[in-house]
Amino acid sequence: MAQSRITRRGVLEAATGLIAAKALPAWAAARGLQPFTLGVASGDPVPDGFVIWTRMAPEPLAPDGLGGLRAPVPVRWEIAADEGMSHIVQAGHVQADSRFAHSAHVEVAGLKPDRPYWYRFTAMGEQSPVGRARTAPAPGQQVDRLHFAFASCSNWERGYFSAYRHMAEEQPDLVMFLGDYIYEGSLDPALTPGLARRHQTPDPVDLAGYRLRFASYHTDPDLQALHAAAPSLMTWDDHEVENDYSNQWSEWPKTDPAAFLKRRAASYRAYYEHMPLRRRSIPRGPDMQVYDRFRWGELAEFHVLDGRQYRTAMQACPTADFRGGHQVGADCAERTDPRRSMLGWAQEAWLFDGLKRSKAPWTILAQDLLVAQGIAKAPATDAPTWRTDAWDGYASTRTRVLDAITASRAANPVFLSGDAHAFFVNDLKQRWGDPSSPVVAAEFLGTSVTSDGGVEASIRPVLDANPDIHLYEPRYRGYVSMTLSRARLDTRLQVVSDRADPKASVSTLMAYVVESGKPGAVPA
Ligand code: FE
Ligand code: CA
């Protein structure tokens, strides 16, 4: 309550011009506050540039969500050819203002392909940390090797982001965030003892609240180190807005879709404000495009998908009091109804068109949810059940996508996935569990950075019920590191020693390889 009152007062002050023109209030300057508390980031690398991002917030947790600032802040940005920032190749100014919470998104162009660059910002008499970005190879350029890593599900309260720190230390060419980058809901320490840390701000329902939640995550030093180390591609999952939502449908039937879309608009806007995204991603009300395509020279095409925003229907077979993810049996016809789409018809058409036109030797589909069928047996009857929240809940979408991959002959399709808080290595087939059905694509799911996984006893039942799932490992937190060449995709499942240890070490749990022309992963 207090939060929204302060927000309204903030808006009123801004509208009536009652605020001091000085960017940093005198009391803040006197306390030695500096604006770059949320780090720097780069994203969307193309052959001649990338986008660089920062957000000025001398007081990142100021309750109105505006980071302790009111007036517009002039920001200088610089791109250098060297880490020491002595050979500046481009520079300019932008104005950051309260409409976008004093975030700065600069779309840099005119750079040379396939090389690293360094960048920094200067504002309010302070310099930001230096970030490292890189341009993509030129179209058609032969590429020996692309090193990238992806992660999902970083719950602040469950632990420290050591996975992010170790990803940064790998100095990859590219990183991918595949959803649940923040968690909107806080855990109850009475029910979940042993939390590593607590969310520092109230659970978000409006723009000020989501700004605070995103900002608080961005104060994390490991998250900042990762963003400063490499450009990113990103999509989201549910927790950036609300657990298990589908398009305009909250998991709670009492939440009116119109009210839910207002909340979605607030969270999407805060997401834009905190991510290295281009102007084309600026949300319009509750709509914001994050699905996109990226080329990496002659080597690979990335299709980044959005599994949440465009669902044509709420989760299959909801109950009167719950619309979130749940298990349903074969009697739930909605689950396989071809009139339902998880990606939405426009995104499906866009994906199929891209697959048809792709000439890349590798086709990487990066997205937020488990694609493979994951049967669970009902405890009493042993009858198969499926979860409604992921691709199993929109099985016709999966069939259409696998059909489109087969028909287009898009080369070497590999899905990268999030959400499930376990490592999965799967074969994706047209006919599940049928040894004679050809493998269409491989899928790797990259466990969670910190979010809770599962216990050893859950492993055997999953593997026994699902012969196309080759690895299910819910006990470890971490990320996935990949090295792609023309001939093969080498994959390491990376695990951190202890999510509760801010200095956790990293090791490789398993390594897999996908060889060009042989769909599916095999242990390396
Ligand atoms: Fe998650
Ligand atoms: Ca999720």
Q: Compute, in angstroms, the gap from residue 8 CA to the centroid of ligand 2.
A: 32
Identity of the residue numbered 231: P
404-421 CB burial, b ≥16 within 10 A, e <16:
bbeebebbbbbbbbbbbb
Q: What is the pLDDT of residues 177-211, one digit of tens each?
A: 999 999 999 999 999 999 999 999 999 999 999 99
Percent of the chain with pLDDT over 70: 94
Query: Checking DSSP bridges between strand 131-134 and strand 116-123, what pairing results, if any?
Result: antiparallel
Q: Compute, in angstroms, the gap from residue 212 CA to the centroid of ligand 1.
A: 19
* Band of residue 310 on the pLDDT scale cut at 50, 70, 90: very high
More confident of the two residues 117 and 23: 117
Q: Kind and range of the H or E element at 346?
A: helix 345-357
Q: Compute, in angstroms, the gap from residue 419 CA to the centroid of ligand 1.
A: 5
Q: Compute, in angstroms, the gap from residue 239 CA to the centroid of ligand 2.
A: 6
Q: Compute, in angstroms, the gap from residue 135 CA to the centroid of ligand 2.
A: 31
Alpha carbon 228 to its chain's center = 16
387 alpha carbon, closest ligand: 2
Identity of the residue numbered 483: T
Q: What is the pLDDT of residues 79-137, one digit of tens each?
A: 999 999 999 999 999 999 999 999 999 999 999 999 999 999 999 999 999 999 999 99
Q: Compute, in angstroms, the gap from residue 422 CA to the centroid of ligand 2.
A: 12
pTM above 0.85, yes or no: yes
Which runs of consecutive H residues, i.e. helices, occur in 431-511? 459-465
Q: Other CB atoms closer than 10 Å to residue 141's CB: what's the count?
A: 15
Q: Compute, in angstroms, the gap from residue 475 CA to the centroid of ligand 1.
A: 14
Q: Cα-atom radius of gyration of the chain, to the nearest Å?
A: 23
The region that residue 259 occupies, defined by phi over 0 for left and psi between -120 and 50 for alpha, beta otherwise, is: alpha
Give the pLDDT score at 447. 98
Give the pLDDT score at 15. 36
Identity of the residue numbered 52: I
CA terminus-to-terminus distance, the chain: 55
422 alpha carbon, closest ligand: 1
Tokens of 480: 């996935």
* Band of residue 28 on the pLDDT scale cut at 50, 70, 90: low
447 alpha carbon, closest ligand: 1
Q: Compute, in angstroms, the gap from residue 85 CA to the centroid of ligand 2.
A: 39
Q: Compute, in angstroms, the gap from residue 144 CA to the centroid of ligand 2.
A: 34
Q: Compute, in angstroms, the gap from residue 416 CA to the centroid of ligand 1.
A: 15
* Band of residue 379 on the pLDDT scale cut at 50, 70, 90: confident
Q: Which residues surround ligand 2, an ion (CB under 5 A)?
A: 180, 237-238, 419
Q: Is the pLDDT of residue 18 over 50?
A: no
Residues 6+ apart with CB under 8 A from 379: none
Q: Which residues surround ligand 1, an ion (CB under 5 A)?
A: 153, 180, 451
Cα separation of 281 and 273, whole Å? Answer: 10
| DSSP structure class, residue 358 | -
* Band of residue 30 on the pLDDT scale cut at 50, 70, 90: low
212-242 CB burial, b ≥16 within 10 A, e <16:
bbbbbbbbbebbbbbbbbbbbbbbbbbbbbb
**How large is the angle between the packed helices 207-218 and 257-273, nearest 10 degrees?**
40
Q: Compute, in angstroms, the gap from residue 30 CA to the centroid of ligand 2.
A: 42
Q: Compute, in angstroms, the gap from residue 162 CA to the centroid of ligand 2.
A: 20
Q: Is the pLDDT of residue 278 over 80?
A: yes
Q: Compute, in angstroms, the gap from residue 513 CA to the centroid of ligand 2.
A: 27
* Band of residue 13 on the pLDDT scale cut at 50, 70, 90: very low
Give the pLDDT score at 32. 72
Q: Closest Cα partner for 496 from 195, 153, 164? A: 164
Q: Compute, in angstroms, the gap from residue 242 CA to the centroid of ligand 2.
A: 9
158 alpha carbon, closest ligand: 1
Tokens of 185: 């809901």
Q: Compute, in angstroms, the gap from residue 233 CA to the centroid of ligand 1.
A: 18
Q: Is the pLDDT of residue 77 over 90?
A: yes
Q: Compute, in angstroms, the gap from residue 508 CA to the centroid of ligand 1.
A: 22
Q: Compute, in angstroms, the gap from residue 450 CA to the centroid of ligand 2.
A: 13
Average pLDDT for residues 414-437, to the nearest whole number?
95
Q: Is the pLDDT of residue 12 over 50?
A: no
Q: Compute, in angstroms, the gap from residue 421 CA to the centroid of ligand 1.
A: 6
Tokens of 56: 């000025």
Cα separation of 331 and 319, whole Å? Answer: 14
Q: Compute, in angstroms, the gap from residue 479 CA to the centroid of ligand 1.
A: 13
Q: Other CB atoms closer than 10 Å to residue 363's CB: what's the count?
A: 22
Q: Compute, in angstroms, the gap from residue 319 CA to the centroid of ligand 2.
A: 20
Q: What is the pLDDT of residues 225-254, one digit of tens each?
A: 999 999 999 999 999 999 999 999 999 999
Give the pLDDT score at 456. 97
Lowest mean pLDDT among 101-105, 277-281, 296-300, 433-437: 433-437
Residues 6+ apart with CB under 8 A from 481: 147, 148, 149, 167, 170, 172, 491, 492, 494
* Band of residue 23 on the pLDDT scale cut at 50, 70, 90: low
Q: Is the pLDDT of residue 370 over 70?
A: yes
Q: Compute, in angstroms, the gap from residue 115 CA to the centroid of ligand 2.
A: 34
Average pLDDT for residues 441-450, to the nearest whole number?
98
235 alpha carbon, closest ligand: 2
153 alpha carbon, closest ligand: 1
Q: What is the pLDDT of residues 32-75, one digit of tens each?
A: 789 999 999 999 999 999 999 999 999 999 999 999 999 999 99
Q: Compute, in angstroms, the gap from residue 180 CA to the centroid of ligand 2.
A: 6
Cα separation of 478 and 476, whole Å? Answer: 7
Q: Compute, in angstroms, the gap from residue 35 CA to the centroid of ligand 2.
A: 32
Q: Is the pLDDT of residue 3 over 50?
A: no
Q: What is the mean pLDDT of the chain?
A: 94
| DSSP structure class, residue 168 | H
183 alpha carbon, closest ligand: 1
Residues 345 and 376 sit within 8 Å (Cβ to Cβ): no
Q: Compute, in angstroms, the gap from residue 356 CA to the centroid of ligand 1.
A: 32
- β-strand partners of 75: 94
DSSP string, 283-340: -BTTB----EEEEETTTEEEEE--SSTT-SSPSSS-BTTB-S--EE-TT-GGGG-TT-
Residues 92 and 47 sit within 8 Å (Cβ to Cβ): no
Cα 278 to Cα 45, 46, 290, 320: the distances in Å are: 11, 12, 10, 40
Residues 95 and 75 sit within 8 Å (Cβ to Cβ): yes
| DSSP structure class, residue 389 | S
* Band of residue 5 on the pLDDT scale cut at 50, 70, 90: very low
325 alpha carbon, closest ligand: 2
Cα separation of 123 and 76, whole Å? Answer: 6
Q: Compute, in angstroms, the gap from residue 20 CA to the centroid of ligand 2.
A: 42
Q: Compute, in angstroms, the gap from residue 315 CA to the centroid of ligand 2.
A: 14
Q: Is the pLDDT of residue 21 over 90?
A: no
